[in-house]
Each structure stands twice: as C-alpha cells, then as structure tokens.
Structure 1
Amino acid sequence: MSSQALLSLNTEQTLLIFERIIFAFSSLLNSCALFCLIRETPPHQSQIRTYLLFIQATVIISDVYFSVLFEPFPVFHVFAGYCVGLLCRSVKLTILFGIYANIVALMGATILQCSIHRHQTIVTRGRWALSQRARSVLRWLLHIIYCGPCLVFATFPFSREESETLIEKSTVDVRWIRDRGGYFMMKRTAVPLTIVALLVIILSVSFAVFALVFAHLFVVLEKRGRKSSKLKRQITISMIRLFMQIGVPILFILVPFTILMIEVCFSFDFCLYVTSIIPFHPIVHNAILILILPEYRNYFISLLEKILPGRKCCKSTGPSSAPDS
C-alpha cells in the first residue's frame, strides 16, 4: 500500500480529537460574538449590522456543519475522500461537500457586499457611487457567481458503481477508505476540476476586490483628510478594524482551498495539516471581532470584574465610532 495516500487510524483519531477541542472553544466564542453583535454593536457599525449578523450566522453554521455533521478527510494525490460526520452514512459526500462550499460561498459573497456597502456610505458622489438599482443587481449577481459552482458540484452526477471501479483500478491503494465512513472517488475530468478551480478563483478574486475596495476608501479619506484630519483618523481606524474583522479570518479557508487545488505540488502530510487549519476559522473570526472593538472588549472586562470582585482591569478609552462620511 502506498503510504502517500494512507491516513492511519491513529492520525485520524488524533485529528478528530483536536478538531473537537477546537470546536468546543469556537462554540463558546461563537456565542460571545453573536451576543456582542446583537446587544453591543457600536454606532459606527449600525449601517452594516445586518451584514455582520449574517456573516456571523454563516460562521456558526459552517462551524457546526464542518465539525459535527461533515468531518471530511480528503485523500490527496487521488481525487477521493471520506467523512465521518453524522450525515456521512446517509448523504452522498459530493452533496455534503457542495453544501459546505455553498455556505462558504455565501459567507464570501456577504463579506464582499458588506465592504461594498461600507464603501458606498462614504463614496456618495462621483463615478464610483452606485445607484440603488445597481447595488441590487450586484447583490444578486454575487450570489449567482458564488453559489453557482457549488450547486453544480453538489448536483454533479455521481455513481457509486463508478467510484468502486475507480478504487479497485487505482494505481494508489485507497481501498482502506471503505472502512472509515462515507467515501467517494471521482475521475480527474475537466468538469469537477473546473468547479473546484472556479471556487478558488472566485474566493481569491473576491479577496483582492475586498482589499481594493478598502484601498480606494483610504485614498478617498486621504483627500478628505485635508479638511478634517480628526475625521480622517476616525474613519481610517474604523476601516482598518472592519478589514481585520471580516477580511483576515477568511484566509483560514481560502489558503486550504487553494492547497486542495494544487495538492499535487505538495506532500500528503503537508496538505493534510494545512487543511486542518479550517476549524480555526471561527476562532480567529470571533477573537478578532471581540478583541478589535473597544465596546466588546470593555463589555467582557466589566463582566470579568463582576465575576472577580476587587480586581480592576484596564479598559479601552475613547470612542471607536466614527461618522460615515
């Protein structure tokens, strides 16, 4: 048996234990972050509160789905994989992966919409200002572009008999996946590879557009800062916080998905451990959300002072809010 395509039971169990510990921490942080968004949203984020709540909802759903219902293990260097989650014995793995990819796509589309909406609250005049109709069209277009490839993959014709034949004829022995959970193996044809490539390209381009939107905002603020340096500083800090809040964590999904696309360039072990960082996405997302905004930090500091009377913690001073324009 080729060791390059073998995931031992001990390694699998270690990864599952690790993933469940991560899930316990992320569940706690998910609850804290959701509470903050509902009860403690600062004034300068009130206009994008709906977007932030939807992003948080997709983070929570993706976390529960990935760590409880799905629990996938891709088998690198062959187009195969298996999963051990609660749904894996009753639902086709290609459908399960398509659902997860669709959740991630919705998250990405909402993040981009949020950044564009924030951009439009500041850029209200000129050629970069969009009409309400243009925003509505863009919103639907983003959902179609993001979710289209995922839905195609989820509904892609998948034959159990063909999968069994491919496993038997494979030059790499992968028959062991039959004993692990729900499994599949597909031919490396143009259609599935194109779908996966489209997903990675869409996420990568979207992150680049997301960064460019904020770069343009900083240029606009630089021009306006000549009139009011205080206003410029306030809005700039607000933009940096928003970029950190919703832009940085998505890299914990984008990087593993990219590695999956070019996995033939790397060793089996490297690909395995890189994809193991996906469960960290909710933790990083929530930690940044809670730590980067003074309102959220101060709330938990006050809560800590109530739990531990007599101890005084240093709170953030000064408002984090900034006017929209």
Structure 2
Amino acid sequence: MELFLPLEKQELIIACQRISFVFTSVLNVLSLYCILTKTAANQSGVRAYLLFIQILIVLTSVHNDVLFCSIPAFPAIAGFCLGWLCMIGLPPHSLEGVFIFLMALTCVAIMSCTLYRHQSIIPDTNPLRVSKSPYNISWIAGCGPFYIHRRTTGLLFAIYMSKTYLFIFTAVVLLLFWHMLFVLKNATNQSPSSVNIVRQSLIVLFIQIEVPLIMMMTPGCLLMTSIACECIPCKVTLPAYAALVLHPLSHNIILLTATPGYRRFIFRTL
C-alpha cells in the first residue's frame, strides 16, 4: 500500500515546528527564571526536580525542533529529518533514539519528583514511608575505594521498574519459544524430519540463551528485592551475588556444552 505525505503537509509540519520553537524558547526562559528566583522557600526541595525537568524540556525542544526536525510518515514506522544534525550526516536512527531517551528521562524525572513530594508529606508511621537504611557500614571506608547509595524513593522506583521489566522480558522470551514450538507442532507443509531438525535447533537455542537468562535474572531479582524490602539476610544475598558474578562463566559453559558442533570441536581438540 502506497503511503505519501504531500509537500503541503510537509511544509506545514516544518512551519509549525519552527513557530512552536520560537514560542517554546520564550516560555522556557521564563520558566527557568521563575523556577530559579520565584519558587517559594518551602518548595526548595521540589525546585531541584522542577529545574531538572525544565532542562530536559529545553533539550527536547532544541533537539526535536532544530537538531532533528523529524517528519514522520505514520502509520508506517518511518520518516525523514531536516534538522541541522541530519544535514551534516548524523544517522536519523541515532537522533530518533536521543529524542525517545529525552522523553523517557522526562517521565522518570516527573515520577521522581512525585515520589519525593509523596514521601515529604506522609508521616513516618505510614507503611509506604521509605525508611533510612538501619545498617552501620562505615567500616567499608577502610577497605578501599567504596560506594554508598542513599535509600531514596527514586532508587526504589528504579528497582521496582527494573524487576517488572525483567519479568516481562523473560515472559515474552518464553512465550516466543513456546509459540515457535507450537507452530512446528502443527506444521503441515514440512516433512517430519525437517520439523524435528528445526525443533532440536530451537531446544539448543533455548538452552544457549534462555537458561543463562534465567540464571542471571533469578539472583538479580533476589538482590533487588533484598535492597527494596531489607528482608533477605546477607547469607542469602551473598551467594546470589556470587551467582551473578559467575554468570559469564556459566554462560560460556552452557553455550559450549549445549551446542553439538561446539562440543564436538572441543572433544576433537582435546
């Protein structure tokens, strides 16, 4: 199906972007000035978040309206760009990725600001209140270069989002493998021997990548849960961390032993 964006619409989009950039730039300057000088004293904590969000808005505006200047061709996942960076030869895919990253970072900043305000309002006795870490770990300062992260709502939010992503990602991979095996099981246009060969290759691929993924995800989720709830003892988390550190070793062992061609090569070499 042919999809064509008339020249008139292209020019209209470009004109709207340029006009929008002019007005947005004026409002960006005004917003930055107000945030820096007119924010109420009792909102000093929120001001840092508002300033960061506003800086992201400025960067997004400059990138999308001047540097990238994308003309999409929806509903196709395609388009072209006329921005300065496009004209000097930078790849549009990378510029599109920067735009998506800025939008995503803005969403994260807004959520962080909301969580900060939420924690500043609810009482200490509220079950949703994030408590400070009760552990005294000052001794690590004498062991060498060290790192200590504050237990903040933003950090906990990132942990919960990471766990959710890992579960969804793993579930999607499992469903895709299940669907491939299901399609092969009901295939009628291939011989049984061909289906069996493809099925065996899928099983090998599953062992090559999905088993290491589960071996990485399980201790990773356990460690993130430990940080979030502080309810898993160190004698459990340390082995989980060891399993995570040893993941590259286990991944290579599984890859080399599960693949018949690799396994035969190693045995012949030995």
Bigger-Rg structure (1/2)? 2
TM superposition score normalised by structure 2: 0.49
TM-score in terms of structure 1 length: 0.41
1 or 2 for the larger relative contact order (CA 8 Å, sep ≥6)? 1
